Amino acid sequence: MQSKGAKIAFIVILIAFAIGAYWFYNHGPFAEMNNEAKKAYQNYVKTEATIVSQESNGRIGKGANTIWTMQFKNVKGEVVTATMDKNALPTKENGDKVNIYYNAENLNAIISEEHYNEVMH
């Protein structure tokens, strides 16, 4: 059976690790990247898009990704076609409707609703 001192030391190490991980995530480099993304996404507008096509980026394994071509209407009512190269919509097919966010100043910059919510909330 372990001694009481060893148990206390183990608990102290776990608490110190948890505090360090919390600080690193909320005040370290991840927090800075998250704040930059929040600033960038402030101009993004939510809309419904239709998946026009999907294709592989040609890589195999870890670098494999799907490139999604989508059509949506911007705030002016114009139809816009843009691509999104993230594996954000793995179960979607051509013709499916999805919610996306796009940059009102750069219509080619689109992200999935899931990614937007992950960063902004």
Q: Please give the full DSSP string across 56-68, using - where no structure is assigned.
A: E-S--GGG--EEE
Q: Let me know whether 66 and 18 are in one domain.
A: no
Largest pairwise CA distance in the chain: 72
User: pLDDT category, 28, cuts 50, 70, 90?
Assistant: low
Exposed/middle/buried for 75, CB within 10 Å: 0-12, 13-18, 19+?
exposed
User: For residue 79, what are the β-bridge partners?
Assistant: 73
Q: Let me know whether 92 and 63 are in one domain.
A: yes
Q: Let me know whether 35 and 62 are in one domain.
A: no
| Predicted TM-score (pTM) above 0.85 | no
- In this predicted structure, what is the pLDDT of residue 51? 92
Query: Does position 67 have pLDDT exceeding 60, yes or no?
Result: yes
- In this predicted structure, what is the pLDDT of residue 42? 84
Q: Let me know whether 18 and 35 are in one domain.
A: yes
Question: Whole domain around residue 32: which residue ranges?
Answer: 4-39
- Between 33 and 120, name the one with better pLDDT: 120
Domain count within the chain: 2
Query: Does position 43 have pLDDT exceeding 80, yes or no?
Result: yes
- Take residue 38 and report the two structure tokens written for it: 């929040």
